[in-house]
Structure 1
Amino acid sequence: MSSPQSHTRPTVMAVWLVVAGVIGWWAAFQLTLEKLHALEFPGTAASCDFSVLVQCTANLDSWQGSILGFPNPIIGLTAWVAPIVVGVAILAGARFARWFWWLFELGMLLAFVFVCWLIGQSIFVLGTLCPWCMVTWAVVIPSFYVVTVHILRTGILPAPANIRRSAGKLMPWVPLITIVSYAIIVVLAQVRLDALTNIFGTLFA
């Protein structure tokens, strides 16, 4: 039986989903343009290539950049439509069935896992930091946290009452958890790539 909380309208989450979806879609769109430009003019540098470390070309040209056989940005162009639609629908008063939220959470989980894998590949294998990729990372991570906490606190995802109560208290802490996640990525990039030295060296060279 659904918790009464499951019928409340999560307005703040809805607004975030729309904002994150637009930002993520725009990043995917820019990367798609860069890929098309590279195909049209082979050997030319992408506009987001700022240094050996901060660049898009190495990521787009790698097999990791086309994990399904086509450029990853195309995945973003289609996938980011979902949170935008869901966010707008919630703001319009829509209520989704439990199975819909399960599928949406599965999509967010897959996106989160994929982004974590891409972060690892970028830092530890390719040795680059793609600007538009990092924008995608920045919006996927909190989006996953927000949706996961929401479906736990509302009882959409079956969980004991104490977990639901804890999830309800956890929502205000999502921004801090997100910042900690960003900090972990920065530390990994700094330890592995000496990112800060390279970035600031490029800016002030």
Structure 2
Amino acid sequence: MIAGLRRIRHSNGWIFGTMLFSACLSLMASFVLSVDALRLAENPAASLSCNINQVISCGTVGASWQAHLFGFPNAYLGLIAEPVVITIAVASLGGTRFPRWFMFAAQVVYTLGVIFAYWLFYQSFVNIGALCPWCLLVTVSTTLVFATLTHVNIRDGNLYLPQRLGSALANAVRADLDAVLVTIWLLILALAVVLKYGSALFA
């Protein structure tokens, strides 16, 4: 039974299905954040649906300079990037195999994207002092997209790594260490949020 579950987990259907689902969640969150950004631009005092308390407040995060780092709402980047990931996932589920250079480029670009997502999480967690549920969804979903994309690229040898390092990472992926690492990482993030804000999350 365990062997069967592992085969499913390493199948293209599971990997690209997870990538598709995660990218769709990120796209949905980016769309909501984009709409909220327009509402805040019209009225900085607008009451957003996810303004629950002082800690859970999309308005506080959306009004910060970090939310417009490049001069426009950061959510617009998600509206651009996630459809590309969705296209890759859907095409791959249909049997398309993209060139090695393309998958490597996708890895580089999405790595920059996930670094940016975690920079925003850090800013919210440490400096802004408020959390946006939609932003948290983006953080989690981009983590899952990054994990599945990395899994595929390590498995298929798309990253132009030295042979010894590539083989070691491929063995780690086959042993499901990537799934374990991502699970532990997300649990650490959740624990950090609870430890910092505690009951204020539900006040």
Q: Which TM-score tier does this pair reach, normalised by the shorter chain?
A: 0.7 to 0.9
Q: Is the 8 A contact 1:28 1:74 kept in 2?
A: yes
In structure 1, C-alpha distance between the alignment counterparts of 2:128 and 2:31, rounded to whole Å: 22
2:167 paired with 1:164: yes
Q: Is the 8 A contact 2:31 2:75 kept in 1?
A: yes
In structure 1, C-alpha distance between the alignment counterparts of 2:91 and 2:11, rounded to whole Å: 10
RMSD in angstroms over aligned alpha carbons?
2.0
Question: For each residue in 1:111-167, what CA deviation from the matched residue of structure 2 results, as whole angstroms up to 9, or x when unmatched?
Answer: 111112111111110011110000000111122122123212221112324643543
In structure 2, C-alpha distance between the alignment counterparts of 1:104 and 1:46, rounded to whole Å: 34
Alignment match, 1:118: 120
Alignment match, 1:62: 64
Q: Which structure 1 segments of 5+ residues have no match? A: 1-7
Q: Is the 8 A contact 1:25 1:77 kept in 2?
A: yes
Partner secondary structure for residue 69 of structure 1: coil
* Residue pairs, 1:69-148, within 5 angstroms: 69-148=71-150
Moved more, 138-147 or 20-29: 138-147
Alignment match, 1:182: 186
Q: Following TM superposition, by how much is the alpha carbon of 1:174 offset from its aligned partner in structure 2, in angstroms?
A: 3.4
Instruction: Give the TM-score, by structure 1 length.
Output: 0.85
Question: For each residue in 1:51-105, what CA deviation from the matched residue of structure 2 results, as whole angstroms up to 9, or x when unmatched?
Answer: 1001111111111101111001111111111110000010111111111011100
In structure 2, C-alpha distance between the alignment counterparts of 1:162 and 1:60, rounded to whole Å: 41
Q: Which structure 2 segments of 5+ residues have no match? A: 1-9
Moved more, 145-154 or 54-63: 145-154
Moved more, 145-154 or 111-120: 145-154
Q: Percent identity?
A: 26
In structure 2, C-alpha distance between the alignment counterparts of 1:33 and 1:162, rounded to whole Å: 44
The residue type paired with residue 196 of structure 1 is: G
Instruction: Give the TM-score, by structure 2 length.
Output: 0.86
Alignment match, 1:12: 14
In structure 2, C-alpha distance between the alignment counterparts of 1:73 and 1:183, rounded to whole Å: 25
2:32 paired with 1:46: no
The residue type paired with residue 185 of structure 1 is: L
User: Aligned pair in 2 of structure 1 residues 134, 155: CA closer, same or farther (>3 Å)?
Assistant: same
The residue type paired with residue 179 of structure 1 is: T
